Amino acid sequence: MRSHYDVVIVGGGVQGLSLAYNLARSDLLRVAVLEKSYIGSGASGRNGEMIRSAFASLEWIRLFDKSLQLWESLSAELDFNVMFTRTGYLVLASTHDELGECRIHIERQKELGLDTRLIEADEVLRLVPALNPRWVTGGILQLNGGSARHDAVVWAYARAARRLSVEIFPHTEVIGIDIKSGSVSGVRTTKGNIETQTVVNAAGAFAGQLAAMVGLHLPLEIYRLEMIVTEPLKPFLPVALSSPHIMGYMHQTTRGEFAGGAEVEGRLPFSGLKSTRMAVQNMARKFISLFPGLGGVNLMRQWAGVVSKTPDRGPLLGRVDKVEGFLLSAAWGGYGFMGSPAGGKLMAELILTGETPKHIQPFNLNRFKTGKLIVDSSLVVSTESIEKNEKNRR
């Protein structure tokens, strides 16, 4: 490890690694990525791999559609097959109210030029005949959405970044950040100290702890999410599918496994990464209600991951007031995998040019002071805190 880097990125997940790769393309800066465990050990190696840009708000659509465009050529760009598969992404409506929401969302998506279409119940059932008709009233189909392999994406970014001289240090934890006259001057790690004027907080679920090292409070909650994977099955799910009704998301891998996750009511207690019986029972019940054919199928794997979320569920991106040289690429919640190509590219643009790109401007930390929250009603997450926050504002 050198004694000085131009940029130190804390966190070797998809966001930190995508940023490192995009910074290194410019050839101007010496960049280090510090990861307290192995790369991809956080949510980046534990997620549901789903990719879409069919959201409801201008801000989310702009940011994530930029990402979706980058996914198209990511394997070629990184010279590593990330197995991005454009199967199409279906947001399933299960009630007439949910279909009503879809009608509102599609208007905004069309206005912004997305390749999405509202489909009626019979078309949904023709596309995915295995679905329980009881839970189908229609949906939004995004033809260019899909999924990619999460481990492959982590490795692809890490290899491409290393080729461009980024130095990646696994098992190196940041334990302190030095500030001189309001500006970052260095980081302290379990392997020694580094001088730097720029630190990027890409610490995923632990972004709040890292920010506290510079005296900054981030409005974050840590959430545990869990996933299950079945034994390989004959193809029955041709699209990536999310269901606001069960707050779940799922796809079938190229090997035939059904892989899905759903938010568990009452929230899982935060107790590390151990998966729970409560979650597996809850998710199995929900998935079988959507796909009765899954009853009796064997589960092969189950795992948990942690993410941090803001009150409006949007990420925290860009500079912060008061601490010069401390930047955020944090709180990506349940969407940081699909957002990683754009997240890294746009944050790199900010560091290289000093100008905040328009796609990430609305996601500044200041929105929690000004009250300019970004409410996106198409997110497949519990809205508890959003509601609490809205009430407080009123």
Ligand X SMILES: Cc1cc2nc3c(=O)[nH]c(=O)nc-3n(C[C@H](O)[C@H](O)[C@H](O)COP(=O)(O)OP(=O)(O)OC[C@H]3O[C@@H](n4cnc5c(N)ncnc54)[C@H](O)[C@@H]3O)c2cc1C
- CB–CB of 259/229 below 8 Å? yes
Binding site for ligand X (CB under 6 A): 10-16, 34-37, 41-44, 46-50, 173-174, 202-206, 210, 225-227, 249, 261, 305, 307, 332-338
Report in angstroms how near the CB of residue 208 gets to ligand X at its nearest. Answer: 10
Closest to ligand X by CB, 128 or 342: 342
Closest to ligand X by CB, 27 or 265: 265
Report in angstroms how near the CB of residue 265 gets to ligand X at its nearest. Answer: 16
Q: How many CB atoms lie within 10 A of CB 394?
A: 5
Closest to ligand X by CB, 219 or 336: 336
Closest to ligand X by CB, 93 or 168: 168
Report in angstroms how near the CB of residue 233 gets to ligand X at its nearest. Answer: 20
Report in angstroms how near the CB of residue 308 gets to ligand X at its nearest. Answer: 8
Closest to ligand X by CB, 34 or 54: 34
Report in angstroms how near the CB of residue 198 gets to ligand X at its nearest. Answer: 16
User: Cα(13)–Cα(39) distance, rounded to whole angstroms?
Assistant: 6
Closest to ligand X by CB, 74 or 203: 203
Closest to ligand X by CB, 19 or 99: 19
Closest to ligand X by CB, 136 or 250: 250
Report in angstroms how near the CB of residue 120 gets to ligand X at its nearest. Answer: 26
Strands 248-252 and 240-243: antiparallel
Report in angstroms how near the CB of residue 36 gets to ligand X at its nearest. Answer: 4
- CB–CB of 56/160 below 8 Å? no
Report in angstroms how near the CB of residue 115 gets to ligand X at its nearest. Answer: 19
Report in angstroms how near the CB of residue 76 gets to ligand X at its nearest. Answer: 21
Closest to ligand X by CB, 291 or 335: 335
Q: How many CB atoms lie within 10 A of CB 175?
A: 12
Closest to ligand X by CB, 47 or 137: 47
Report in angstroms how near the CB of residue 390 gets to ligand X at its nearest. Answer: 23
The Cα-based distances of 157 to 22, 308, 325, 351 in angstroms read: 9, 22, 24, 18
Instruction: State the SS3 of the chain.
Output: CCCECCEEEECCCHHHHHHHHHHHCCCCCCEEEECCCCCCCCHHHCCCCEECCCCCCHHHHHHHHHHHHHHHCHHHHHCCCCCCECCCEEEEECCHHHHHHHHHHHHHHHHCCCCEEEEEHHHHHHHCCCCCHHHCCEEEEECCCEECCHHHHHHHHHHHHHHCCCEEECCCCEEEEEEECCEEEEEEECCEEEECCCEEECCHHHHHHHHHCCCCCCCCEEEEEEEEEEEECCCCCCCEEEECCCCEEEEECCCCEEEEEECCCCCCCCECECCCHHHHHHHHHHHHHHCHHHCCCCEEEEEEEEEEECCCCCCEEEECCCCECEEEEECCHHHCCCCHHHHHHHHHHHHHHCCCCCCCHHHCCCHHHHCCCCCCCCCCCCCHHHHHHHHHHC
